[in-house]
Each structure stands twice: as C-alpha cells, then as structure tokens.
Amino acid sequence: MTITRIDQGPRMSEAVIHGDTIYLAGQIGAPGESVTAQTKAALAEIEALLVQTGSSKDHLLMATIWLADMNDFEEMNAVWDPWIAGHAAPARATGEAKLATPEYRVEIIIIAAKA
C-alpha cells in the first residue's frame, strides 16, 4: 500500500496518508498567544491540511489535544465546540503535557479518513 507524505521535512511530515487514513502532525498556534488564538490557529491549519489531503471535518476519526495547563480546558473548548458544531464529532482525548516550549499552550493532533 502506498504511503504519501505531505510537507515532509528532515524531522517530520505535516501529514501522512496511508490507504484511506490521514494522520496529521500536531498543529499549534503562534507561541505566546492566548489559548483562544492558538486553538483557532491550530484548527485553521488542520482544516487546510484536511483539504490538501482529500478530507474534511466530516471525516475526523480521532482528536488528541494537549494543553500545557488543564485550567485552559474551557477556553480551548470555547473554540473547539463551535468549530466542530454541525459535524460528526470524532473520538477525542485531552490531556496536560509539557509542550515544545512554555509559550505553546495547545497542540491538536488529528486522524481522519479520506472523503
């Protein structure tokens, strides 16, 4: 089966397609921005990658969301909820983790099916 890598760099690819499954790298917003701004930016990147890989929000399978601080859960959900509204919600996990730098407050990882 063919594996297609999108925006491949020396360390990682932004997306990998294997069969009808699409795996997106963790998406983030600008460091130092609010959780709201970082979540909006990450979701915009996710939408662009889904289009580029032949999918959409209607084909999300799994979302893994890492927050630098679980106290930001409601702020992140205030962006996530309207973004996913009207679409079939994926399975989802949200946890707290140290991200690449302290300025990153949210990272979202998506697995989707091809449309």
Considering the domain delimited by 3-113, tell me its CATH architecture.
2-Layer Sandwich (3.30)
Please list, in sequence order, all residues whose beta carbon lies within 8 angstroms of the beta carbon of residue 90, skipping any fewer than 6 positions away: 60, 61, 62, 63, 84, 110, 111, 112
Residue 1 has pLDDT above 80, yes or no: no
Sole residue written with tokens 């909006």:
40
Amino acid sitting at position 108: I
The overall longest dimension of the chain from CA atoms, in Å, is 42
Helix H or strand E segment including 73:
helix 73-84
- Note the pLDDT tens digit of each residue in 62-112: 999 999 999 999 999 999 999 999 999 999 999 999 999 999 999 999 999
- Residue 42 in this model has a pLDDT that exceeds 90: yes
- Domain regions of the chain by residue span: 3-113
Please state, as a whole number, how many other Cβ atoms lie within 10 Å of the Cβ of residue 41: 18
pLDDT at 97: 97
Please tell me the pTM assigned to this model: 0.96
Query: Which of 58, 53, 57 lies closest to 7, judged by CA?
Result: 53
